[in-house]
């Protein structure tokens, strides 16, 4: 971690092992500020003190009744400080707190063996050996142990130096590129109003930046903010921050909610998770009620097991947590699992998705797939959208990361389609599956419509259930790569060609001859079909083929003219405009020698194709 970054150290340990006294000895600050804490002589809620300008100490309760407050206190810490009293040694909450730190992904730990003035040296060696056994097999097995006494100040300076050294070795948190702060305290301060505090776990924020309160998504306005007791213009990743909220009262804010850049943090009522059960926990059956601590929130949930009816002690699996209330969460969040009754820590895990399919069969298949994957799951999320792919912007929101961060994490083989700056994103296998699906759709269409030149985009979109704007671009890409051919607004396979039967080819030729001979008074399509003794549906296909070949021109659904007839009309109209400024229905009747029945459709054809411009009941030249 760089010298400019803040570090938060969270204390842990059994009740009455001297955590609060140790904080006071190190900083001069008594973190038990509540009257109830003074009266009972024990920490009930979290408290804060500054070891240095860059290091915050978070004191937490040790009593088993207040473990949820302990979890809230260490939910955003970089380094754990485990306090074990020499006269008691390792106790139940010592073990539980170590498990909590591990499940929350706290990367480093330092142990303070406190109250050393109360026991003999030989006893200290035994207790330290017990601590080593407790930490064996955890990420903290080689962490430092410092012997201290808050009463005599023995070892305090060594502890301070060790904490500063360990803080310098803490890895930087992953920055998702947007601001996020889980609220761990809400209070009112005279002259200022409502204050919320928390640790910035993503991004940064400057004065005037937009914020929302989650899970309700209310806009939040700030008067100002502080970090480490000083007024600042900006807070950043890892900072302890106090924010002065101007538009919400204490009653509208509570611990467990979050402040964040709008649009990036989901508020689901179901989480896809990967969970681990402690070795000494009881087996967990499917649909069992549990308590979930995620961020600074605690919520009741039911555990859904996709692949097994019961999770055994020490087991690990993908699962679904169906929550009683929505909580702010993103992929990668760590959580603690506690039993419903009696309330004890039984496991923990990581959120692997926050947008699950609505139906259980699809949901359990998806969660099982994600849990079985190694490493980054972004590729699987991209692939899940099939023919409605993510854009760079929508994927950044889906994965709760800034666009810049998403660009860095995209698999190198990701395909980009269209939309400069915000392209659609597909994996190679997703693209190949889409191409195969479109091929299959067109193959079936060609078989069912052997005389049609191809399918239109809307037909293809409905068959593949794709996004219309994306599919328009993707079909263009397929044409550019030679996979498809396009004519007008219809697409076909490169291998497709229209092969008329001898009888249909004869009917088609006869159709063209008849329409040509009828000039400007051609029969309606249905009459032509009867004239040529051909079913109307089949006849319409032949008419379309004649249009495709450019031999016939359709002026509306019922009327066709030969191309030479239409050319005669266009030439006659151009000559008319050489001597007249306007063209009327009567003029067209005179030019073609036909009736209003044909003159009006012909005028409308001239309008559509840019030969005339309608002004009221008359037409003028396009150039005025």
Domain boundaries, the chain: 7-169, 180-260, 270-372, 373-499, 501-624
Alpha-carbon gap, residue 575 to 569, rounded angstroms: 10
Whether the pLDDT of residue 24 is over 90: the answer is no
Closest of 79, 348, 100 to residue 238, by C-alpha: 79
Q: Across the chain, which distance is largest between two alpha carbons, in Å?
A: 124
Q: Could you read off the pLDDT of 431-489 as tens digits, one per residue?
A: 999 999 999 999 999 998 887 888 999 999 999 999 999 999 999 999 999 999 998 88
Alpha-carbon gap, residue 456 to 587, rounded angstroms: 38
How many C-beta atoms lie closer than 10 Å to residue 518's C-beta?
Answer: 16
Whether the pLDDT of residue 156 is over 60: the answer is yes
Task: Match domain 180-260 to its CATH number in 3.40.50.720, 3.40.50.10260, 2.40.30.10, 2.40.50.140.
Answer: 2.40.30.10
Tokens of 153: 């100040």
Alpha-carbon gap, residue 585 to 138, rounded angstroms: 92
Tokens 């842990």: give the residue: 12
Q: Could you read off the pLDDT of 555-584 as tens digits, one per residue?
A: 888 899 999 999 999 999 999 999 999 999
Which of 60-69, 169-178, 221-230, 269-278 is modeled with the greatest confidence?
269-278
Q: Which CATH class is domain 373-499?
A: mainly alpha
Of all residues in the chain, what percent carry a pLDDT higher than 90? 53
The whole-number pLDDT of residue 31 equals 60
The whole-number pLDDT of residue 111 equals 95
Which residues neighbour 334 within 8 Å (Cβ) at sequence distance 6 or greater?
Answer: 103, 104, 105, 294, 348, 349, 350, 351
Whether the pLDDT of residue 29 is over 60: the answer is yes
For residue 420, what pLDDT band results from cuts at 50, 70 and 90?
A: confident
Residue 410: is it exposed, middle or buried by C-beta count within 10 angstroms (0-12/13-18/19+)? middle
Distances in Å between the alpha carbon of 296 and those of 70, 185, 485? Answer: 10, 9, 57
Alpha-carbon gap, residue 190 to 508, rounded angstroms: 91
For residue 325, what pLDDT band results from cuts at 50, 70 and 90?
A: very high
Q: What kind of fold does domain 7-169 have according to CATH? A: Rossmann fold (3.40.50)
What is residue 437's three-state secondary structure? Answer: helix
Whether the pLDDT of residue 35 is over 50: the answer is no
Closest of 353, 271, 365 to residue 320, by C-alpha: 271
The whole-number pLDDT of residue 69 equals 58
How many C-beta atoms lie closer than 10 Å to residue 475's C-beta?
Answer: 19
Alpha-carbon gap, residue 367 to 359, rounded angstroms: 12
The whole-number pLDDT of residue 62 equals 43
pTM of the model: 0.77
The whole-number pLDDT of residue 452 equals 80
Q: What kind of fold does domain 501-624 have according to CATH? A: Arc Repressor Mutant, subunit A (1.10.10)
Instruction: Give 449 or 141, the one with higher predicted confidence.
Output: 141
Average pLDDT on 23-27 reads 86
Whether the pLDDT of residue 546 is over 80: the answer is yes
Q: Nearest 5°: CA angle at 337, between 333 and 342?
A: 160
Alpha-carbon gap, residue 505 to 595, rounded angstroms: 32
Tokens of 181: 């702060």
What does DSSP say about strands 240-245 and 222-227: parallel, antiparallel, or unpaired? antiparallel
Which residues neighbour 601 within 8 Å (Cβ) at sequence distance 6 or greater?
Answer: 555, 556, 559
Is 501-624 in the same CATH topology as 373-499? yes
Residue 208: is it exposed, middle or buried by C-beta count within 10 angstroms (0-12/13-18/19+)? exposed
DSSP-based helix, strand, coil % in the chain, nearest 5: 35, 25, 40
Average pLDDT on 230-244 reads 89
Whether the pLDDT of residue 61 is over 80: the answer is no
Alpha-carbon gap, residue 492 to 441, rounded angstroms: 10
Alpha-carbon gap, residue 310 to 305, rounded angstroms: 7
Note the CATH architecture for domain 270-372.
Beta Barrel (2.40)
Whether the pLDDT of residue 128 is over 70: the answer is yes
**What is the number of alpha carbons within 13 Å of residue 384 lying toward its C-beta?**
19
Q: Assess contact for 432 and 439: CB atoms under 8 A.
A: no
**Residue-averaged pLDDT of the chain:** 87
């Amino acid at each position: 971690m760089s010298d400019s970054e803040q570090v938060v150290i969270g204390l842990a340990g059994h009740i009455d092992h001297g955590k609060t006294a140790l904080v006071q000895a190190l900083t001069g600050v008594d973190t038990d500020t509540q009257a109830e804490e003074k009266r009972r002589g024990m920490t009930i809620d979290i408290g804060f003190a500054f070891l240095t300008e860059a290091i915050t100490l978070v004191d937490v309760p040790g009593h088993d009744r207040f473990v949820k407050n302990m979890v809230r206190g260490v939910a955003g810490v970089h380094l754990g400080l485990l306090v074990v009293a020499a006269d008691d040694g390792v106790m139940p909450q010592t073990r539980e707190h170590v498990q909590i730190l591990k499940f929350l992904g706290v990367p480093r730990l330092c142990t303070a063996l406190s109250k050393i003035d109360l026991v003999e040296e030989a006893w200290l060696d035994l207790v330290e050996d017990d601590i080593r056994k407790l930490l064996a097999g955890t990420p903290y097995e080689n962490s430092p142990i410092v012997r201290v006494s808050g009463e005599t100040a023995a070892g305090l300076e060594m502890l301070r130096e060790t904490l500063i050294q360990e803080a310098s070795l803490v890895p930087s948190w992953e920055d998702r590129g947007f601001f996020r702060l889980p609220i761990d305290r809400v209070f009112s301060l005279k002259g200022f109003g409502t204050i919320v505090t928390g640790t910035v776990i993503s991004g940064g924020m400057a004065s005037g930046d937009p914020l929302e309160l989650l899970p309700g998504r209310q806009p939040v306005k700030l008067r100002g903010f502080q970090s480490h007791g000083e007024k600042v213009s900006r807070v950043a990743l890892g900072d302890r921050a106090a924010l002065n909220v101007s538009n919400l009262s204490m009653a509208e804010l509570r611990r467990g909610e979050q402040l964040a850049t709008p649009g990036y943090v989901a508020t689901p009522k179901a989480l896809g998770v990967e969970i681990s059960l402690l070795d000494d926990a009881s087996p967990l059956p499917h649909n069992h009620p549990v308590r979930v601590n995620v961020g600074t929130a605690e919520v009741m949930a039911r555990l859904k097991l996709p692949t097994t009816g019961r999770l055994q002690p020490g087991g690990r699996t993908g699962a679904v947590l169906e929550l009683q209330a929505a909580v702010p969460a993103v992929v990668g969040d760590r959580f603690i699992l506690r039993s419903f009754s009696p309330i004890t820590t039984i496991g923990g895990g990581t959120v692997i998705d926050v947008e699950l399919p609505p139906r259980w069969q699809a949901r359990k298949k998806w969660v099982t797939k994600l849990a079985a994957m190694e490493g980054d799951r972004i590729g699987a999320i991209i692939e899940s959208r099939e023919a409605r792919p993510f854009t760079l912007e929508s994927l950044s929101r889906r994965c709760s990361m800034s666009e810049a961060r998403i660009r860095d994490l995209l698999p190198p083989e990701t395909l980009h389609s269209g939309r400069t700056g915000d392209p659609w994103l597909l994996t190679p296998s997703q693209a190949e599956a889409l191409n195969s699906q479109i091929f299959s759709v067109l193959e079936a269409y060609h078989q069912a419509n052997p005389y049609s030149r191809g399918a239109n985009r809307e037909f293809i979109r409905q068959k593949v259930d794709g996004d219309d704007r994306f599919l328009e671009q993707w079909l263009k890409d397929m044409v550019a790569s030679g996979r498809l051919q396009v004519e007008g607004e219809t697409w076909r396979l490169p291998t497709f060609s229209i092969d008329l039967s001898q009888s249909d080819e004869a009917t088609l030729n006869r159709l063209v001859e008849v329409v040509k001979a009828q000039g400007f008074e051609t029969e309606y399509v249905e009459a032509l079909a009867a004239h040529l003794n051909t079913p109307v549906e089949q006849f319409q296909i032949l008419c379309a083929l004649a249009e495709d070949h450019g031999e016939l021109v359709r002026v509306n659904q019922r009327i066709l003219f030969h191309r030479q007839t239409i050319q005669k009309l266009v030439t006659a109209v151009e000559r008319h405009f050489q001597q007249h400024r306007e063209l009327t229905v009567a003029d067209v009747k005179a030019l073609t020698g036909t009736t209003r029945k044909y003159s009006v459709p012909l005028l409308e054809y001239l309008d559509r194709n840019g030969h005339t411009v309608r002004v009221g009941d008359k037409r003028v030249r396009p150039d005025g």
